[in-house]
Structure 1
Amino acid sequence: MTTMRLGNGTWSILRAACVGVGINAAGAQLLRVTQDIDYGLPDGVVVRIGARGQEGAAKRAVDVARWLAFSGIPVVQAVSDIRQPVVVDGHAVTFWHALPPHRAGTPAEVAAALTRLHGLSPPTDLELGRVAPFVGLDERIAAAHTSSADDRSWLRGYLEELRGRWSALPTGQPWCVIHGAAWSGNVVVAEDGSVILLDPGQLSIGPPEWDLVHAAIECASFGWISDELYAQYCRGYGRDVMRWDGFYLLRDIREFRMATMAAQAAAANPVYQQQADLRLACIRGDIGPRPWAGWAALAD
């Protein structure tokens, strides 16, 4: 997570980017602050301001979204008549159509969307790259200044253990196009029944189990969804990833990524410190067996 200071700086970036593409920024409303900052415009356009130095990632997200749409996969839509991204003061700015009225996808709907995605042939004119499960984790640990030196040392050691285990990942389903961030919040359903994928920037080629493990830990690690809803998910996809020998490794990597995200967020905003401490205690074995109570999504 890269923090970005709000205020006149982001407003000026927003205005400059909009002027550059001929869009009126009047009436813009701040929608969300995560590693990116989203502003909504009255005409139904969402302007996303990325962290400095992320021009390549921003362009990739737009290119992937356009490829998915061309392939018949409903996806959040980049504005088509704008050459993107627009770079202002080192920040990559992209322009997206606001979503229609929608609700979060059910586990069964998420499974159906992943079935379609995993069945795609990789693009011939767009390099998706291979999944990188450890990308950014060293930086997250280094940025976790509110964690003790002992805690950061433990995190670094555990990260090395996970890397070693990944090198011996058991054989599973053939690698394919995967979403990379297939949490239920990243799949929404419009009023016409369209199941829309969000956050296309993490698409890659990798084991489909990397996507399937999300729902498994939502159920087994955090208790966010019930056993019955998880069973519906498995029936919808046709497979229960928890029955695969590699599940425990992918579960541990996902939990580790979530723990280090909270640790980095706490260094930028103390409101996340309790969540960071809880997540670390859980993955270190201080809390007891799963499911662990208290894990909550980091607020936008």
Structure 2
Amino acid sequence: MSIATVDTSGGLTHDNLRTLLAAVCAATGLDPGGAELIKFTNNAVFRLRGAPVVVRIAGSTAARERAATVVGVARWLAGHDFPAVRLLAGLEQPISLHGQVITLWERVPETGPRPDGADLAVLLKRLHRLPGPPPDLPEWRPINEVRQRLAEPEDLATGDHAFLLDQCDQVEKELAGLRFRLPRGVIHGDAFLGNVIPGTRGPVLCDFDGTTIGPREWDLTPVAVGRLRLDYTTDDHAMLARRYGVDITEWDGFPVLRRLRELKLVTSVLPILRSNPGIRPQWEHRMRTFKAGDLTARWQPYR
């Protein structure tokens, strides 16, 4: 299938994604037949059936701009033998096709037990102790990413757009006033259990889109917010806090980081809100309760 048949002006539709998948497989000698779309939020992720490979297509301008950094982080972690997903060897990555950016990864067989908060704490402590950050790793500027998503939303009402922009300004101002206690350094940036894979030799970390130089408190925030906001049955936060040695919810700056995390959870799918209509009901629920300042409403993961 020719890449010239892809028209992404209407968004990364499922048909466009399949066409891009076929094109990158043709270019790399892989078979796209029977590939399974396992995720389609801020990135689209396919699991190939004919080879132990995962194909990741960036779903927004922000994700496309971060792809080279993601590749650099993955290579840096591999150099330290860190338990993380590995890039598919023998290819120059990231791969650019028709304005889209794609990376290929070795698939990790998910055969071990479900990772928990203690497993994530072990990975984060090890990550936070690694020497010599990868070259050109950017500084943590989380509001920039949110504003990028707000610059290319699909089907977002004018009032909601204005509200979210105002939230960016407010949270950015509050972040500037925080006094972090933990040392700065390399952070994963999106450290929740969805980014930990149960590998055959133990849990491995994935998804380095948010990896930067920043406050370690941010890596302890997603699981804490997950306990408070998402309808999880396991208290992974208690396990993470005990193993890492810090309970982020006891810090007086946590409410600001919680608001930032929830702002990111609301805006993460804005660039594909029309392209992936299945997520719309959950997004509307998140937006409505976030806008109302309802801290007790429970959210569900995007499906």
TM-score (norm 2): 0.84
The structure 2 residue matched to 1:205, chosen from 213, 219, 222, is: 213
- Report the equivalent of 2:300: 296
Residue identity in the other structure for 1:60 = T
CA RMSD of aligned residues (A): 2.6
2:30 match: 24
Matched, 1:122 2:132: yes
Q: How far apart, CA to CA, are the structure 2 residues paired with 1:207 and 1:72?
A: 24
Q: Which runs of 5 or more structure 1 residues have no equivalent in the other structure?
A: none
2:284 is the alignment partner of 1:277: yes
Aligned CA distance change for structure 1 residues 286 and 10 (closer, same or farther; 3 Å): closer
Structure 2 vs 1, CA of residues 140 and 226 (structure 1 numbering), >3 Å: closer, same or farther? Answer: same
Pairing partner for 1:60 from 65, 69, 87: 69
Counterpart residue identity of residue 258, structure 1:
L
Deviates more, 1:55-64 or 1:205-214: 55-64
Sort the Cα spacing of 1:46 and 1:173 in 2 relative to 1 into closer, same or farther, 3 A: same
Instruction: Identify if the C-alpha distance between structure 1 residues 91 and 154 changes in structure 2 by more than 3 Å, giving closer, same or farther.
Output: closer
After superposing the two structures, state which structure 1 stretch, 141-150 or 164-173, moved more: 141-150
* Aligned residue in 2 for 1:238: 245
| Aligned 8 A contact 1:122 1:177 in 2 | no
Say whether the 8 Å CA contact 1:187–1:195 is kept in structure 2: yes
Count, aligned residues: 290
Q: Secondary structure at the match of 1:101?
A: coil
Q: How does 1:24-103 map to 2 (within 5 A)?
A: 24-25=30-31, 27-32=33-38, 33-39=40-46, 40-51=48-59, 56-102=65-111, 103=113
- The Cα shift of 1:51 comes to 4.5
- Quote the Cα distance in structure 2 between the aligned partners of 1:145 and 1:98: 31
CA spacing shift, 1:161–1:189, aligned 2, 3 Å: same
1:259 alignment partner, one of 253, 262, 266 = 266
Are the structure 2 counterparts of residues 261 and 101 from structure 1 closer, same or farther at C-alpha, using a change threshold of 3 Å?
Answer: closer
> Secondary structure at the residue paired with 2:36?
strand
Q: Give the match for residue 157 of structure 1.
A: 166
Give the AA of the match of 1:169: L
Aligned ranges 1:86-235 → 2 under 5 Å: 86-102=95-111, 103-123=113-133, 126-144=135-153, 146-192=155-201, 194-227=202-235, 229-235=236-242
Given that 1:3 and 1:35 are in contact with CA atoms closer than 8 Å, whether structure 2 keeps it comes out as: no
Q: Which runs of 5+ in 2 are unaligned?
A: 1-9
Q: 1:38 to 1:140 in 2, by over 3 A?
A: closer
Separation in structure 2 between the aligned mates of residue 136 and residue 52 of structure 1, nearest angstrom? 10
CA distance in 1, matches of 2:11, 2:188: 24
Change (3 A) 1:209 1:80: same
* TM-score, normalised relative to structure 1: 0.85
Contact 2:188-2:211 at 8 Å conserved across structures: yes
Q: Structure 1 residues 147, 51: CA separation in 2 closer, same or farther (over 3 Å shift)? A: closer
Specify the SS of the correspondent of 1:277. Answer: helix
Deviations 1:37-84 (A, max 9, x none): 333141212222334866553232222112112112111111121121
Q: Helix, strand or coil: the match of 1:202?
A: coil
